[in-house]
Structure 1
Amino acid sequence: MSSEITLYIATSVDGYVADADGSVDWLDEFQTEPDGDGEAEAYAEFFETVDCLVMGATTYEQVLSFGEWPYGDKPTYVFTHRNLSPATEAVRFVSREVADLVPELRRRYSHVWVVGGAHLAQSFFREREIDAIRLSFIPILLGDGIPLFSGGYDEQRVDLVGTTVFDSGIVEHQYEVAE
């Protein structure tokens, strides 16, 4: 089975995934209704292709704070060294290194979504385990916060394969990571 690991994440135009306090409240004003300008539909189409999710503990806790678990029964691996409660039976906590878990993920799943956060994404880049990137630029400058890309990994070439501009001002770039 051939598998793909995709980083699909939103960032401010100046490259932050959260503000200086770790909050993503600034995303709220850009949330669209299901009958909006295509953002919800684009996400739904992407999510339909995903059969496994991975995220860091901070992202997991943020998702829980939004209310109902949005990922249904799709297997979700949460990287953490803390003792957390699972949102559903599909949530698994792992304290392994990315390099140790990725071979298992690639064997078991055809499309893995790296949900966030930035530190976990950077770990996947360090291991050269991101195959595709869907980066949604939110039309806001935060000035400070948690940067999506802060180095610690080797240079990697990405090829732009698509761009979608939404009425909200969000611009999504789709990249494939070159071999």
Structure 2
Amino acid sequence: MGEIHIELFTTLDLVGQAPGGPDEDPENFDFGGWQQPLVDEVSGAQFGAAYVGTDALLLGRRTYDIFAAYWPHREGGQDDDIATLFNRVPKYVASRGPLHPAWNNSTRVGADLAADVAAIRRRHENVKVVGSLDLVRTLVRDRLFDRLDLWLHPILLGSGKKLFDGGVLPSILTLLAPPEASPSGIVLLRYGLADGVPTTGDMGGR
């Protein structure tokens, strides 16, 4: 049985909207492209390493449209390794409508997301969810993921779509590796979804 790994970039106040560019998701948001000034050599290498072994992508519709217009034209360029990977592997897209442009190896899913995620797990070993904040929020809310790689960036925006808007099921996460920090202050946290629900206690009893 394969795993669903979420790769997510957020600010310290957990805004995940439009990290990549001003046109990515401009709805009620003035900070599109907030990630780029903070990326350094260390965090850039982390981003690339995160996709080693990936054999499928699970994407939201907005991210799919951005990727479909960009990655097919990037092979042979600076981002060749990622471009080759993204163009080659199957893409599963949570969407209510047809896929235009029709990026090769793309399949629309989402009528029953839980059943579709289970089927994708049966077909693949290492499925990456990239960007796709609306989809990520659904996967987190319904516990339809196995690992969350969270890159926290040292800025506060005070506006924008946040990771946990819309609620979640009470869950326990396990830290899978020590946190890794880059020179610019980006901190990578790798969490796995654990069984059970949070418990409570009384610090005054210590």
- TMscore range, shorter length: 0.7 to 0.9
2:46 is the counterpart of 1:42: yes
Total equivalences in the alignment: 173
Q: Per-residue deviation at 1:151?
A: 3.9
Q: Among the aligned pairs, what percent are the same residue?
A: 28
Cα distance between partner residues in 1 of 2:153 and 2:187: 7
Structure 1 runs (4+) deviating above 6 angstroms are none
Q: Aligned runs of 1:63-74 on 2, under 5 Å?
A: 63-64=67-68, 67-69=70-72, 70=83, 71-74=86-89
Alignment partner, residue 121 of structure 1 = 136
CA contact (8 A) 1:98 1:123 kept: no
| 1:178 and 2:194 aligned | yes
Aligned with 1:99 (options 114, 119, 129): 114
RMSD over aligned CA atoms reads 2.1
The answer to whether the Cα contact below 8 Å between 2:17 and 2:133 also exists between their aligned partners in 1 is no
Using the TM superposition, name which of 54-63 and 19-28 deviates more: 19-28
TM-score by structure 2 length?
0.75
Greater fraction strand: 1
- TM-score after normalising by structure 1: 0.85
Gapped runs of 5+ residues in structure 2? Answer: 19-27, 73-82, 196-206
State the Cα distance separating 1:62 from its structure 2 match.
3.5
Quote the Cα distance in structure 1 between the aligned partners of 2:184 and 2:105. 33
Q: Which residue of 2 aligns with 1:12?
A: 11
Give the secondary-structure state (helix, strand or coil) at the position aligned to 2:100: coil
- Residue 95 of structure 1 deviates from its aligned partner by 4.0
User: Aligned ranges for residues 21-170 of structure 1 at < 5 Å?
Assistant: 21=29, 24-32=32-40, 36=41, 38-64=42-68, 67-69=70-72, 70=83, 71-86=86-101, 88-162=103-177, 163-170=179-186
Give CA-to-partner distance per residue, 1:120-175, whole Å, 9 cap, x none. Answer: 11221233221111000112111100111124331011112221101121111111
